[in-house]
């Protein structure tokens, strides 16, 4: 069984495209930027990037009532701190947009007004009866039994979210470039022709990198050879 770290590390352009598609569909149905990222993250987590819907076109693990059409599948839940395998009836939908619409109608009241992704994800996990921040409504129950659900949803959103790659190319944190140190005049650290000749022609000796000056001495054989190799006469 793959770990979540392995799941998150398998970043591909196809996965970014899936995330962007779900996010865009949620936005078209009126989701806020934060809620759209949470919705896209949940769909990726619940279906393995769209590969394994829990029911027909069910991208959010929504359970079906006894009167609703659904698909019975084996799933795992956390009960009493332990992972247990059980069978559950998952709701069937006509298409992805219908799945998103149902997800929003049942759960987006909890994330309304959330200040960020983590806040929205935490609100989804509020237990039944808990007050929704900034609202008079109370939670009808937690979204998932997984105690790590908030961190998983948040991690996916941070990596792929907020239109991270509108073109469908996965996002990646770009390293901050380290400014190149300016070479000391005459230094052999960056042996271009100009710098080598500046050091050796008429100023032989050891370079003091603090002052940029040379202490006089005779050329060593390698320095003489290098001087000539760079065009000295």
User: How far apart are alpha carbons 62 and 17 in whole angstroms?
Assistant: 23
Given a cut of 60, is residue 154 above it in pLDDT?
Answer: yes
Given a cut of 90, is residue 138 above it in pLDDT?
Answer: yes
Parallel, antiparallel or unpaired: strands 82-91 and 70-79: antiparallel
Q: What is the mean pLDDT of residues 141-160?
A: 95
Q: What is the mean pLDDT of residues 182-195?
A: 47
> Which of residues 118 and 193 earns the better pLDDT score?
118
Of the listed ranges 13-27, 73-87, 108-122, the least confidently predicted one is 73-87
Q: What is the mean pLDDT of residues 165-184?
A: 42
> Which of residues 18 and 175 earns the better pLDDT score?
18
Given a cut of 80, is residue 233 above it in pLDDT?
Answer: no
pLDDT at 12: 81
- What rounded mean pLDDT belongs to the chain? 80
Q: Which spans in 10-95 are helix H?
A: 13-28, 33-47
Q: Are 170 and 160 in contact (CB under 8 A)?
A: yes
Of the listed ranges 7-16, 44-53, 94-103, 114-123, the least confidently predicted one is 7-16
Q: What is the mean pLDDT of residues 72-100?
A: 94
pLDDT band at 182 (very low <50, low <70, confident <90, very high): low
Given a cut of 50, is residue 185 above it in pLDDT?
Answer: no
Question: C-alpha dihedral over 165, 42, 50, 26, to 10 degrees?
Answer: -60
Q: What is the mean pLDDT of residues 110-130?
A: 96
Given a cut of 70, is residue 132 above it in pLDDT?
Answer: yes
90: closest CA among 68, 72, 106?
A: 72
pLDDT at 183: 45
The pair of structure tokens assigned to 225 is 């050879």
- In the chain, % of residues over pLDDT 90: 61
pLDDT at 162: 73
pTM above 0.75, yes or no: no
- Which residues pair with residue 91 across a beta bridge? 70
Place of tokens 């000295």: 232
Given a cut of 70, is residue 23 above it in pLDDT?
Answer: yes
């Amino acid at each position: 069984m793959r770990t979540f770290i392995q799941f998150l590390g398998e970043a591909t352009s196809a996965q970014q495209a899936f995330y962007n598609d779900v996010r865009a569909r949620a936005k078209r149905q009126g989701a806020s930027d934060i809620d759209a990222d949470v919705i896209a993250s949940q769909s990726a987590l619940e279906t393995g990037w769209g590969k394994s819907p829990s029911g027909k076109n069910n991208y959010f693990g929504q359970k079906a009532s006894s009167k609703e059409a659904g698909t019975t599948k084996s799933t795992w839940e956390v009960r009493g701190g332990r992972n247990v395998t059980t069978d559950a009836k998952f709701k069937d939908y006509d298409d992805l947009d219908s799945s998103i619409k149902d997800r929003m109608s049942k759960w987006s009241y909890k994330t309304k007004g959330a200040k960020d992704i983590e806040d929205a994800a935490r609100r989804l996990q509020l237990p039944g009866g808990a007050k929704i921040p900034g609202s008079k409504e109370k939670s009808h129950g937690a979204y998932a039994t997984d105690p790590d659900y908030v961190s998983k949803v948040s991690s996916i959103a941070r990596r792929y979210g907020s239109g991270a790659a509108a073109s469908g190319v996965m996002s990646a944190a770009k390293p901050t470039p380290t400014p190149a140190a300016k070479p000391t005049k005459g230094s052999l650290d960056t042996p271009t022709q100009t710098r080598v000749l500046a050091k050796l022609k008429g100023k032989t000796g050891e370079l003091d990198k603090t002052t940029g000056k040379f202490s006089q001495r005779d050329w060593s054989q390698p320095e003489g050879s290098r001087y000539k190799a760079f065009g000295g006469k």
